[in-house]
Structure 1
Amino acid sequence: MRPTIPAIFLLSVMAGCTTMTPEERRAADEAVCSDYGFRNGSEAFAECLQRIELDRRAERRASMASFERSRPIVVYRPVPLRRRD
Protein backbone atom coordinates (compact mmCIF):
# COMPACT_ATOMS: atom_id res chain seq x y z
CA MET A 1 0.00 0.00 0.00
CA ARG A 2 1.38 3.40 -0.96
CA PRO A 3 1.22 6.41 1.35
CA THR A 4 -1.47 8.87 0.46
CA ILE A 5 -1.79 12.50 1.43
CA PRO A 6 -5.07 11.99 3.34
CA ALA A 7 -3.57 9.13 5.35
CA ILE A 8 -0.49 11.15 6.22
CA PHE A 9 -2.67 14.19 7.02
CA LEU A 10 -4.81 12.07 9.32
CA LEU A 11 -1.71 10.74 11.03
CA SER A 12 -0.37 14.26 11.60
CA VAL A 13 -3.72 15.46 12.98
CA MET A 14 -3.92 12.49 15.31
CA ALA A 15 -0.33 13.06 16.42
CA GLY A 16 -1.15 16.69 17.19
CA CYS A 17 -4.03 15.68 19.47
CA THR A 18 -1.87 13.72 21.86
CA THR A 19 1.18 14.53 23.88
CA MET A 20 4.12 12.50 22.65
CA THR A 21 7.80 12.73 23.30
CA PRO A 22 9.99 13.20 20.23
CA GLU A 23 11.17 9.61 20.62
CA GLU A 24 7.60 8.28 20.71
CA ARG A 25 6.69 10.38 17.66
CA ARG A 26 9.72 9.08 15.75
CA ALA A 27 8.86 5.48 16.65
CA ALA A 28 5.27 6.01 15.51
CA ASP A 29 6.45 7.57 12.24
CA GLU A 30 8.88 4.70 11.66
CA ALA A 31 6.07 2.21 12.30
CA VAL A 32 3.89 3.97 9.72
CA CYS A 33 6.65 3.91 7.11
CA SER A 34 7.35 0.24 7.88
CA ASP A 35 3.63 -0.52 7.49
CA TYR A 36 3.78 1.12 4.07
CA GLY A 37 6.45 -1.43 3.15
CA PHE A 38 9.59 0.72 3.30
CA ARG A 39 12.70 -0.88 4.76
CA ASN A 40 14.43 0.89 7.64
CA GLY A 41 17.66 2.49 6.43
CA SER A 42 16.58 2.83 2.82
CA GLU A 43 16.27 6.14 0.98
CA ALA A 44 12.53 5.56 0.50
CA PHE A 45 12.14 5.06 4.25
CA ALA A 46 13.92 8.37 4.93
CA GLU A 47 11.72 10.12 2.35
CA CYS A 48 8.63 8.68 4.02
CA LEU A 49 9.74 10.05 7.40
CA GLN A 50 10.48 13.39 5.79
CA ARG A 51 7.04 13.58 4.15
CA ILE A 52 5.34 12.85 7.46
CA GLU A 53 7.33 15.61 9.19
CA LEU A 54 6.70 18.10 6.37
CA ASP A 55 2.98 17.37 6.52
CA ARG A 56 3.03 17.84 10.29
CA ARG A 57 4.76 21.22 9.89
CA ALA A 58 2.35 22.31 7.16
CA GLU A 59 -0.57 21.44 9.41
CA ARG A 60 0.94 23.52 12.22
CA ARG A 61 1.42 26.49 9.87
CA ALA A 62 -2.17 26.21 8.63
CA SER A 63 -3.42 26.06 12.19
CA MET A 64 -1.41 29.14 13.17
CA ALA A 65 -2.60 31.03 10.07
CA SER A 66 -6.20 30.24 10.93
CA PHE A 67 -5.60 31.48 14.49
CA GLU A 68 -4.02 34.69 13.18
CA ARG A 69 -7.02 35.39 10.94
CA SER A 70 -9.42 35.00 13.86
CA ARG A 71 -7.68 37.56 16.08
CA PRO A 72 -8.95 41.15 15.98
CA ILE A 73 -6.68 43.79 14.53
CA VAL A 74 -5.57 46.34 17.10
CA VAL A 75 -4.53 49.73 15.80
CA TYR A 76 -2.21 51.68 18.07
CA ARG A 77 -1.50 55.33 17.56
CA PRO A 78 0.55 57.10 20.21
CA VAL A 79 -0.73 60.49 21.34
CA PRO A 80 2.03 62.95 22.21
CA LEU A 81 1.43 64.93 25.38
CA ARG A 82 2.91 68.34 25.97
CA ARG A 83 4.25 69.15 29.34
CA ARG A 84 2.88 72.18 31.15
CA ASP A 85 5.44 74.06 33.17
Structure 2
Amino acid sequence: MRIFPALSLIVIALVLSACQTAEEIRAADEARCSSYGFRRGTENFANCLMNQDLSRRADQRAFMESNNDFYWGPPFVVGPGYHRYYHHWH
Protein backbone atom coordinates (compact mmCIF):
# COMPACT_ATOMS: atom_id res chain seq x y z
CA MET A 1 0.00 0.00 0.00
CA ARG A 2 2.28 2.75 -1.24
CA ILE A 3 -0.65 5.05 -1.96
CA PHE A 4 -1.31 5.83 1.72
CA PRO A 5 2.13 7.41 2.44
CA ALA A 6 2.01 9.43 -0.79
CA LEU A 7 -1.55 10.59 -0.08
CA SER A 8 -0.56 11.52 3.47
CA LEU A 9 2.30 13.68 2.22
CA ILE A 10 0.02 15.45 -0.24
CA VAL A 11 -2.54 16.17 2.48
CA ILE A 12 0.15 17.46 4.85
CA ALA A 13 1.58 19.70 2.12
CA LEU A 14 -1.86 21.16 1.38
CA VAL A 15 -2.56 21.84 5.04
CA LEU A 16 0.80 23.52 5.59
CA SER A 17 0.46 25.64 2.45
CA ALA A 18 -2.84 27.02 3.78
CA CYS A 19 -1.16 28.38 6.93
CA GLN A 20 -0.14 32.03 7.00
CA THR A 21 2.77 33.34 8.97
CA ALA A 22 2.41 36.30 11.31
CA GLU A 23 4.36 38.44 8.82
CA GLU A 24 1.97 37.53 5.98
CA ILE A 25 -1.06 38.34 8.13
CA ARG A 26 0.48 41.66 9.17
CA ALA A 27 1.30 42.55 5.56
CA ALA A 28 -2.27 41.75 4.47
CA ASP A 29 -3.67 43.87 7.31
CA GLU A 30 -1.38 46.77 6.43
CA ALA A 31 -2.36 46.52 2.76
CA ARG A 32 -6.05 46.53 3.70
CA CYS A 33 -5.68 49.56 6.00
CA SER A 34 -3.67 51.39 3.32
CA SER A 35 -6.41 50.61 0.79
CA TYR A 36 -8.89 52.26 3.16
CA GLY A 37 -6.84 55.45 2.90
CA PHE A 38 -5.06 55.36 6.26
CA ARG A 39 -1.42 56.47 6.24
CA ARG A 40 1.22 54.31 7.89
CA GLY A 41 2.47 55.74 11.19
CA THR A 42 -0.78 57.50 12.11
CA GLU A 43 -3.08 56.72 15.00
CA ASN A 44 -5.90 55.88 12.58
CA PHE A 45 -3.67 53.35 10.81
CA ALA A 46 -2.81 51.73 14.16
CA ASN A 47 -6.51 51.64 15.08
CA CYS A 48 -7.30 50.00 11.75
CA LEU A 49 -4.65 47.32 12.38
CA MET A 50 -6.05 46.74 15.85
CA ASN A 51 -9.59 46.41 14.48
CA GLN A 52 -8.38 43.90 11.88
CA ASP A 53 -6.84 41.79 14.64
CA LEU A 54 -9.91 42.06 16.88
CA SER A 55 -12.16 41.07 14.00
CA ARG A 56 -10.00 38.01 13.23
CA ARG A 57 -10.05 36.93 16.88
CA ALA A 58 -13.83 37.39 17.09
CA ASP A 59 -14.22 35.21 13.99
CA GLN A 60 -12.03 32.53 15.58
CA ARG A 61 -14.06 32.62 18.81
CA ALA A 62 -17.34 32.42 16.91
CA PHE A 63 -16.05 29.47 14.90
CA MET A 64 -14.88 27.62 18.01
CA GLU A 65 -18.15 28.29 19.87
CA SER A 66 -20.27 27.21 16.92
CA ASN A 67 -18.27 23.99 16.66
CA ASN A 68 -17.85 23.35 20.38
CA ASP A 69 -19.85 20.12 20.30
CA PHE A 70 -17.77 18.88 17.38
CA TYR A 71 -14.50 19.45 19.24
CA TRP A 72 -15.47 18.59 22.79
CA GLY A 73 -18.71 16.65 22.50
CA PRO A 74 -22.08 17.58 23.93
CA PRO A 75 -22.41 18.46 27.62
CA PHE A 76 -23.16 15.54 29.89
CA VAL A 77 -24.13 15.01 33.52
CA VAL A 78 -21.47 13.38 35.67
CA GLY A 79 -23.28 13.45 38.99
CA PRO A 80 -25.61 15.60 41.05
CA GLY A 81 -24.80 19.21 40.19
CA TYR A 82 -21.81 18.40 37.99
CA HIS A 83 -21.63 18.67 34.23
CA ARG A 84 -18.91 19.30 31.73
CA TYR A 85 -19.24 22.16 29.26
CA TYR A 86 -16.66 24.55 27.79
CA HIS A 87 -13.82 22.84 29.66
CA HIS A 88 -15.30 23.68 33.06
CA TRP A 89 -16.79 21.46 35.70
CA HIS A 90 -19.78 23.00 37.46
Interval containing the TM-score (normalised by the shorter chain): 0.5 to 0.7
Total equivalences in the alignment = 60
Q: Which has the higher strand share?
A: 2
Structure of greater relative contact order (alpha carbons < 8 Å, 6+ residues apart): 1
Q: Matches of 1:65 and 1:52 in 2, distance apart?
A: 20
> Unpaired segments of 5 or more residues in structure 2?
1-17, 80-90
TM-score (norm 2): 0.60
TM-score (norm 1): 0.63
Once the 2 structures are TM-superposed, how far is the Cα of residue 27 of structure 1 from its aligned partner? 0.5
Q: Matches of 1:51 and 1:67 in 2, distance apart?
A: 24
Letter in 2 for 1:45: F
Once the 2 structures are TM-superposed, how far is the Cα of residue 67 of structure 1 from its aligned partner? 1.2
CA shift digits 1:26-51 (9 cap, x unpaired) = 00100000000000000000000000
The structure with more radius of gyration: 1
Q: Secondary structure in 1 aligned to 2:25?
A: helix
Equivalent position of 2:77 in the other structure: 75
Q: CA RMSD of the aligned region, Å?
A: 1.5
